[in-house]
Structure 1
């Protein structure tokens, strides 16, 4: 799901996907399942700009994904 989101963002913005988020960052997000912006900001590669631009959207994606799994 995170890779699909990244591909869509990259296409929309005209950037290569790795500019939006690296594979390693996506793996760390999936592995740690951050619940808030503070937890998300602790991940390597998740700087202030990425938090500002994508943080809320990433958290919403995770929340919806894990809600579907229950």
Structure 2
């Protein structure tokens, strides 16, 4: 098992870039465990996230590839952007980094599949029982509003 540590600086000029860097990495590996800690040094506050991972292996017979924003239709991009706004607002309210709520790749998967029920949402990549229980009602409300 491998480990990689990320520091997500809270200063507005760094926060999004640091999150994007971590999201890009998370999309490329199989995450086994994560641990986060809030660090304050008096001058710089940041989240330190340790990611224990295995390299992703190509699955035989699986033709699914990683989604990118460019592959989303305009309607899917609208859903994705609405979900990102919701996630960023929730993370700010909780004083968390956005990746702790949901990774970009998971939001893209929701936008692409556009689930019509909580049961369908639970089957979307990156979701499951726990994340769906926490955020499913909010996500379904967003999807139904669009």
What is the TM-score with the length of structure 1 in the denominator?
Answer: 0.87
Runs of 5+ consecutive residues of structure 2 not aligned to the other structure: 1-81
CA distance in 2, matches of 1:14, 1:44: 25
Deviation at residue 49 of structure 1 after TM alignment: 1.9
Which of 47, 51, 59 is residue 132 of structure 2 equivalent to? 51
Q: Root-mean-square deviation (CA), in Å?
A: 0.8
Please say which of residues 10-19 and 42-51 is displaced more in the overlay: 42-51
Which of 87, 91, 96 is residue 10 of structure 1 equivalent to? 91
Runs of 5+ consecutive residues of structure 1 not aligned to the other structure: 66-70
> What residue number does 1:68 align with?
none
With a CA cutoff of 8 Å and minimum separation of 6, indicate the structure with the bigger relative contact order: 1
Deviation at residue 48 of structure 1 after TM alignment: 1.9
- Within a 5 Å distance, the mapping from 1:21-36 to structure 2 comes to 21-36=102-117
Q: Which runs of 4+ in 1 moved over 6 A?
A: none
Deviation at residue 43 of structure 1 after TM alignment: 1.1
Query: How many residues matched?
Result: 65
CA distance in 1, matches of 2:123, 2:105: 14
Which protein is richer in helix relative to its size? 1
Which protein is richer in strand relative to its size? 2
Q: Which has the larger radius of gyration?
A: 2
